[in-house]
Structure 1
Amino acid sequence: MSTRAYRVGLTGGIASGKSTAAKFFGALGVPILDSDQIARDVVEPGQPPLGRLVERFGPSILTPDGHLDRPALREIVFSDPRARADLEALTHPAIGAAMEARSAEAGGPYQILVIPLLVEKNLSAHVDRVLVVDCEEQLQLKRVRAREGSTLEQARSILNAQASRAARLKAADDVIHNDTDMNAVREQVAALHARYLDLAQQARP
């Protein structure tokens, strides 16, 4: 049996409250590994994946100071499935390796891996348990519009590009309901923390 820490994959749709839930777990001393942050780190200047991206997409994806120009790259891959597949092939191995390395360093009785696309990319096999932060879609739309300054149509487009709410809930072992306020989320996190400590203890060899 593996000696790595017990892993809980935290996911949810845009504006569902993933960051809030992760913050509350972190306040309890749980190591938090954020796949989005790792994805940003592996394309910093000097990192091999950035050089490979420039070889594939050209120097126009760089800012004047040599950083990745994310909007420029997003514009290239947004409507080109082949370009998007190339982007993933050039970055995902490095992201996975960095996640494993940071997980080994972080320790802890269990870890929270924040993976927004866990369901879309079928990554549940990489974690021991799937935790979904869920809320009503109308509330998601409201939050997206407030946060992104988008129209209702743009917000719907963002939601439609992700896994459906039903698909995420089907994949979930546990669900945090984020339809009310932060105190309710904090209470659910506290209850799950106790459960995960117990599950992690049971999983030890």
Structure 2
Amino acid sequence: MYVIGLTGGIGSGKTVASDWFTKQGIQVVDADVVAREVVQVGQPALLQIQQQFGDWVILENGELNRRALREYIFQHPDAKKTLENITHPIIRQSIIQQLQTAASPYVILVSPLLFETGQTHLTQRNLLIDTPEHLQLHRATQRDQISHQHIQTIMSHQMPREEKQQRADDIVVNDGELAHLYAQLEPLHQQYLNYAKKTASM
């Protein structure tokens, strides 16, 4: 299976871009969705998190208290590594399984931490949805209804924009209307179809 990694910082437009690929008939595996699935009630990862951090991470309905855990990790950097040691192997295995069973000509792996978590080992090519930081801040604040400071904190924990640009094979600049974004995605889609076809014929 020919896999395209799709990444970008918070508020960059990853979801808008991946939705466009879905409309072209391309299957999308979203790492964020997988990350939520593996900590649902009854999943082994949720029990491991509870055992490691304590009962305070579990809501009354048995679900993970994401907000409390997120705030705790921001205040205790070492806890982030502990959480990742629990979740990342399970997330990775689920992603691999979904990529292997994809039925479209190629498949998109959407991940905000594509480069940071080494998920590029699963991809043949990587696409960056690149957005100026002031636009990221504005869009994310409007969308999530949280403070600029909180968004800036999230951005500070992500790989710098310049480093992502250096690592990406393809870059689409999302700083205007959706039509501008789609116009950049269309020729890439055709390229990816060709790459996938060549790989399949080898």
**How does the TM-score come out when normalised to structure 1?**
0.93
**Counterpart in 2 of 1:8?**
4
Question: Could you tell me the percent identity over the aligned residues?
Answer: 37
CA deviation after TM superposition for structure 1 residue 150, in Å? 3.7
| Residue 78 of structure 1 pairs with residue 74 of structure 2 | yes
Letter in 2 for 1:166: E
Give the aligned CA root-mean-square deviation in angstroms: 1.4
**Counterpart in 1 of 2:32?**
36
1:175 counterpart (155, 171, 174)? 171
Q: Which runs of 5+ in 2 are unaligned?
A: none
**Counterpart in 2 of 1:121?**
117
CA deviation after TM superposition for structure 1 residue 157, in Å? 2.7
Separation in structure 2 between the aligned mates of residue 56 and residue 152 of structure 1, nearest angstrom: 31
CA deviation after TM superposition for structure 1 residue 123, in Å? 2.7
| Residue 184 of structure 1 pairs with residue 191 of structure 2 | no
Shift >4 Å, 4+ stretches: none
Separation in structure 1 between the aligned mates of residue 150 and residue 64 of structure 2, nearest angstrom: 25
Letter in 2 for 1:72: A
Separation in structure 1 between the aligned mates of residue 151 and residue 72 of structure 2, nearest angstrom: 21
Contact 1:119 1:167 survives alignment (8 Å)? no
- Secondary structure (helix, strand or coil) at the match of 1:98 reads helix
Q: Which runs of 5+ in 1 are unaligned?
A: none
Segment of structure 1 superposing worse, 144-153 or 174-183: 144-153
CA deviation after TM superposition for structure 1 residue 94, in Å? 0.8
**Counterpart in 1 of 2:191?**
195
CA deviation after TM superposition for structure 1 residue 107, in Å? 2.4
**Counterpart in 1 of 2:94?**
98
Aligned residues: 201
**How does the TM-score come out when normalised to structure 2?**
0.94
**Counterpart in 1 of 2:107?**
111
